């Protein structure tokens, strides 16, 4: 877009640049017809030439236009005008101008918000998501950069650029991973369909970050972070976080979507209960980080149940007899397996030794060509350690495993190196001397403004 073109579509005056990045620019503007301030998001010319990106931009306008809610940035207008001789449409989206800044900017200055303010941010965001979910729209990219905080503390959700509507045809292919890695739900990381519970997970991650000052998972690249969402558990919340708030965040971040709050409305109502002092239901069953024992404890009973007096009297003798029987059977099996000769006696060729764990078979054709998250989960599940090795490749889809090493029969706990494809780094061509036109930075898709704080959407 020609930066000298200050009047868009004969109506919207572009006053100052708020944010800019990979897909487009966001301007502080004025609707000259209604004489009101607006935010104008303009798609970059080279991006608008791509039919997929243009369709996604249109979808953002359509999805956001469905929603009218105090905690969602309103859409006022959308249009496409022909620009230049190339015939590429200049696509623009006119939004409510939010006087404030993104939550990402707030966290940049104050990494830990504290419990009351965190609950307020989560409550308002969940309320906005409730309206989106009720309209059949899943945001799919809830993160601090997409939450605008007005100067009076009101939170507004923005950037429905990769949202999915249950009533329209998908813009993206099945299995395509969309979203920001640090806030990606496990099902999104595995290329599965997003649901309202996916937005709940992302908002749970935002709550975790507000309470701790850090993201729950971090890694060397987006693929590694996505794998961690599917497999790992975050570090516990600080000890000062109340138990009911801890339970709220744990449930929102449950790996299983069915164990989370079902949608924004359910999460909002849960926050209201916490604020009112009512207990929050924890995830049914053991927590994801719990390690189940190999056998139940001898004295265990159902919750709230005490063993009858008669049962307690015979319980210990019975267990003692059972223990003796188990030891006897173990000795008998060991004797039969080792033959009748005593260790070191006639006919004995090797000393008695403890049972050696069976090896784990690893074959390259089992894993090459699969997604790295699936392969890592499968190998870890067999008892092996995994070292991820990113390999730049333009010929293999990103995230696809290209090699595993070593192969064959491995000892439990051995480390397997899993090589997977990542897109090659594109080195930009140096601009000609004297060209001082920059192109923004980050992935600016926001519409916040105030006190010099633009709303930039980074790939956070």
Q: Report the side by side order of strands in the sheet with 155-157.
A: 155-157, 147-150, 98-102, 448-449
Residue 307 structure tokens: 């063993």
Nearest residue to 448 via CA among 214, 27, 173, 100:
100
CA 208-250-143 angle, 5° bins: 35
Burial group, residue 414, by CB count within 10 angstroms (0-12, 13-18, 19+)? middle
Give the Cα separation of 402 and 390 in Å (integer). Answer: 10
Across-strand partners of 415?
385
Taking each continuous run of H as one helix and of E as one strand, the counts in the chain are: 12, 17
Distance CA 449, CA 27 (A): 9
Per-position DSSP letters for 312-325, written without gaps between them? HHHHHHHHHHHHHH
* Gap between the Cα atoms of 320 and 283, Å rounded: 36
First-to-last C-alpha distance (Å) of the chain: 26
Q: What are the strands of the beta sheet with 12-20, ordered from one edge?
A: 7-8, 12-20, 24-31, 36-43, 88-95, 75-83
Q: Which two tokens stand for residue 450?
A: 């105030």
Q: Closest Cα partner for 248 from 195, 194, 192, 210?
A: 210
Catalytically active residues, by annotation: 141
Cis ω before 406 (30° cut-off from 0): yes
Return d(Cα 135, Cα 165) in angstroms, integer.
8
In a 3-state reduction of DSSP, which class is residue 367? helix
Q: How many CA atoms lie within 13 A of 338 on its CB side?
A: 19
* Residue of 134, 141, 57 lying closest to 93 (CA atoms): 57
Which residues on adjacent β-strands are paired with residue 147? Answer: 157
| Environment class of 152 (CB within 10 Å of its CB; exposed 0-12, middle 13-18, buried 19+) | exposed
């Amino acid at each position: 877009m020609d930066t000298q073109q200050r009047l868009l579509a004969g109506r919207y005056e572009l006053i100052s640049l708020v944010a800019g990045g990979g897909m487009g620019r966001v301007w502080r503007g004025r609707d000259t017809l209604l004489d009101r301030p607006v935010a104008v998001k303009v798609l970059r010319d080279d991006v608008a030439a791509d039919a997929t990106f243009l369709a996604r931009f249109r979808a953002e306008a359509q999805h956001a236009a469905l929603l009218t809610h105090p905690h969602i940035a309103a859409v006022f207008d959308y249009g496409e005008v022909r620009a230049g001789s190339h015939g590429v449409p200049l696509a623009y989206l006119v939004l409510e101008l939010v006087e404030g800044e993104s939550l990402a900017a707030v966290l940049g200055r104050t990494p830990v918000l504290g419990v009351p303010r965190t609950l307020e941010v989560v409550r308002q965001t969940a309320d906005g998501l409730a309206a989106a979910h009720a309209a059949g729209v899943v945001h799919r990219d809830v993160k601090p950069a997409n939450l605008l905080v007005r100067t009076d503390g009101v939170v507004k959700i923005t950037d429905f650029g990769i949202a999915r509507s249950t009533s329209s045809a998908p813009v993206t292919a099945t299995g395509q991973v969309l979203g920001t890695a640090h806030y990606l739900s496990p099902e999104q990381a595995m290329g599965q369909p997003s649901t309202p519970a996916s937005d709940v997970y992302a908002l749970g991650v935002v709550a975790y970050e507000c309470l701790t000052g850090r993201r729950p998972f971090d890694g060397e690249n987006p693929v590694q972070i996505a794998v961690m969402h599917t497999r790992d558990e975050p570090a516990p919340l600080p000890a000062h976080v109340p138990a009911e708030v801890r339970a709220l965040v744990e449930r929102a971040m449950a790996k299983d979507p069915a164990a989370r709050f079902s949608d924004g409305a359910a999460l909002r109502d849960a926050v209201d209960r916490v604020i009112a002092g009512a207990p929050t239901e924890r995830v049914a069953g053991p927590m994801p980080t719990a390690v189940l024992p190999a056998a139940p404890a001898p004295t265990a009973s159902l919750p709230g149940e005490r063993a009858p007096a008669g049962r307690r009297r015979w319980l210990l003798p019975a267990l003692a007899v059972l223990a003796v029987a188990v030891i006897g059977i173990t000795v008998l099996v060991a004797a039969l397996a080792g033959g009748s000769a005593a260790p070191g006696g006639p006919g004995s060729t090797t000393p008695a030794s403890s049972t050696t764990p069976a090896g784990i078979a690893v074959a390259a054709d089992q894993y090459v060509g699969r997604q790295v998250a699936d392969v890592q989960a499968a190998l870890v599940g067999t008892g092996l350690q995994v070292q991820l090795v990113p390999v730049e490749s333009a010929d293999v889809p990103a995230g696809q495993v290209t090699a595993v090493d070593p192969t064959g029969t491995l000892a439990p706990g051995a480390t397997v190196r899993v090589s997977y494809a990542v897109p090659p780094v594109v080195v930009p061509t140096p601009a000609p001397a004297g060209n001082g036109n920059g192109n923004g930075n980050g992935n600016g898709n926001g519409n916040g403004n105030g006190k010099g704080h633009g709303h930039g959407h980074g790939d956070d």
